[in-house]
Structure 1
């Protein structure tokens, strides 16, 4: 079950079905995360380029159907190969057929990839706000989640047993709607395997974990710096752009993304020490600064210096934030509280942290 592989196969199939010749790809504001050439909702005037084939990859939303129908009425390209990332209704297909007066549409398919595959086991919808003022899931978010789950199941060719958190109304509703959709679209799931369990739970079921400081590599970067579609923005004297942390293209990150904070520096040091051994050098590596200096001084290390320098930059930023925010002491108190430490002792420690000048407002909020 690999959502990245499924996405890659779908993209390859889209290109193959369009046949030989030059092509342009048209996306919407969601599917652009896969591959961007042109946005369907762009208001810029475009000159007709009839010798190009246009591959469209869109979510089958009402807005996109209207925009695509307008495009087909006044086509800018010679041929259109239309692909939707989820199930499209017969009514929408009919509307597009009626708009295609010039018969430029050559293919129309459903390729189920409704989300951003970040790694083999993680798909994101990039939704920042999911709840209304009464802490119920917003209707558009609910429908987006439902559609993404269905598309993912179809991409992975799975027809799962569904289990949900009984105490949560939204989880129950989502589970019921997934079951109804699978039953309604039975033909699409005809050859799907039934060896999977779909577990639907609400994040609020565990209110404690998000309040604790994280100490594994990926979690620390996301918590302290922020990761957005594999991009991490760290501004230092030697780096002013976005760093890419992707387990798909960075073997070191893939191997260490769940490693403890204390292990990361040691693993980077071992990587450099191995090169030192091969090059018969004896430079001591006692700190992050020493490791950075080593990388910069050896041109023959350039093949892997990009990866090493990147992770040294990230590690240096994490180390700085841990020190300036006094996170080691904060985490120790957090663990005492969550593991059932003596109440009076915990209270004294919390009061001490509240008065500490390095304690941030976020830490105070989490502790309280």
Structure 2
């Protein structure tokens, strides 16, 4: 189920809303505190709040929630920022019970993202720790990944909705769309395909019906919203991707807009994590190109960058050199580093996908509709 926007004007405002809500929560927990992060939330949190902001809110240490770790040593106040999952609640309960058995007194707070669920409270009650924990929620739903891409980053939604027939996250989707309309006004035209889309739209209209009198809903910056259930087309996600961005995801994996390149790309022992977005001029230029056309662009870009670097040799005065360093050099170095990474990534992709394998896969995929027709007949 997905919706998209073009040239969405309030991406920064959405990021600021989440950051400000998180800051207010942390500020309300007076004094020094440790933060324990659900691994699923580490990258989404990077997109809305950096380490500096957390330190300003007196976060002393940041731990990764590890199911195999029965206890964590830290200060007297601990905040868990987690998804509302039963297994996670059991891990937190183990931490609390471990502290109690060692006569360690702490204050425990759980911030559930994007909302708290009653079943989680039941688990904490069953484990005997509910009386030692304060529960909060943070509506960190839509994460801005780029200037025109927002993502719920809910990998568990597919299994929950389509396999387990649970509707837990329908409310989260509806509320995220309502948040957009609080910024941009009521979307006049909503189109949908599938049962889930209808459920989201119905719930969204019911909630909006109570808010239409509010001043924030008077404008209208978005003309159309399209909701599409994933089960309308299960085949497409399994087909070979031919764009550069698609092959990056197939080969290295893209998570919350981040990609990690190892030694095979960087040539260094230490891996490099990059943020893939339109701010990377080279990536923005090639992300949607067919992979066969990417090397041609990267080659011409390398020559162009070299020409710009060589300009410094023709500078005649100290002032010209100073101006070059102040206005161009840093940007050129950043582009050179990005170009090196993208060329290295292309070489790895080519090494893993021989021409024969690609042609065989594509031929099989092209024959899928024919096979379906024959089976129906």
Higher relative contact order (Cα pairs below 8 Å, separated by 6+ residues): 2
**CA-CA distance at 1:176 after TM superposition:** 3.3
Pick closer, same or farther for the CA change 1:219–1:191 going to 2, 3 Å. farther
Write the deviation string for residues 319-361 of structure 1: whole angstroms up to 9, x where unpaired. Answer: 6668x42xxxxxxxxxxxxxxxxxxxxxxxxxxxxxxx45444
Does the CA contact (< 8 Å) of 2:36 and 2:79 recur in 1? Answer: yes
Q: How many residues align?
A: 304
What residue is the counterpart of 1:79 in the other structure?
107
Corresponding position of 2:249 = 222
Which of 46, 49, 56 is the equivalent residue of 2:80? Answer: 56
Give 1:24 shift.
1.3
Q: How does 1:349-360 map to 2 (within 5 A)?
A: 357=356, 359-360=358-359
Aligned residue runs from structure 1 range 288-327, under 5 A: 305-318=336-349, 324-325=354-355
2:305–2:336 contact (8 Å) kept in structure 1 = no
- Residue 342 of structure 1 is matched in structure 2 by none
Tell me the secondary structure at the aligned position of residue 139 of structure 2.
coil
Which whole-Å CA distance do the structure 1 matches of 2:271 and 2:336 have between them?
17
Preserved CA contact (<8 Å) 2:175 2:204 = no
Structure 2 CA distance for partners of 1:124 and 1:269, relative to 1, 3 Å: farther
Residue in structure 1 matched with residue 67 of structure 2 by the alignment? 42
Quick one: distance in 1 between partners of 2:240 and 2:178?
Answer: 36
**One of 21, 40, 51 as aligned partner of 1:30:** 40
- Alpha-carbon distance in structure 2 between the residues aligned to 1:100 and 1:209: 45
Q: Does the 8 Å contact 2:82/2:111 carry over to 1?
A: yes
1:251-270 deviation per Cα after TM superposition (whole angstroms, max 9, x unaligned): 33564354633434433432
- Equivalent position SS for 1:165: strand
Counterparts of 1:77 and 1:191, CA distance in 2: 47
Counterpart pick for 1:276 among 285, 294, 310? 310
User: How far apart, in 2, do the equivalents of 1:203 and 1:94 lie?
Assistant: 31
CA distance in 2, matches of 1:303, 1:249: 14
In the TM superposition, 1:76-225 aligns within 5 A as 78-88=106-116, 99=129, 101=131, 105=134, 108-114=135-141, 117-120=144-147, 121-125=149-153, 127=155, 130=158, 137-139=162-164, 143-144=168-169, 146-153=170-177, 156=180, 158=182, 163-166=190-193, 168-179=194-205, 182=207, 186=210, 193=217, 195=220, 196=222, 197-203=224-230, 211=239, 214-215=242-243, 217-223=244-250, 225=252
CA contact (8 A) 1:53 1:77 kept: no
What is the Cα deviation at residue 275 of structure 1?
1.1
**Structure 2 counterpart SS, 1:200:** strand
The DSSP-based 3-state class of the residue aligned with 2:107 is: strand
Aligned partner of 1:244 in structure 2 is 273
Structure 1 residue 127, shift from structure 2 partner: 2.8
**Larger fraction in helix:** 2
The answer for unaligned runs of 5 or more in structure 2 is 1-9, 47-61, 316-331, 368-377
Deviation string 1:146-171 (CA, Å, 9 cap, x unpaired) is 244145336546365673434x3343
CA distance in 2, matches of 1:199, 1:8: 27
- The answer on whether the counterparts of 1:83 and 1:111 sit within 8 Å (CA) in structure 2 is yes
Q: CA 1:42/1:254 → structure 2, altered by over 3 Å: closer, same or farther?
A: same
Q: CA deviation at 1:20?
A: 4.5
**Superposition TM-score, scaled by structure 1 size:** 0.61
Instruction: Tell me how large the CA RMSD over aligned residues is.
Output: 4.7
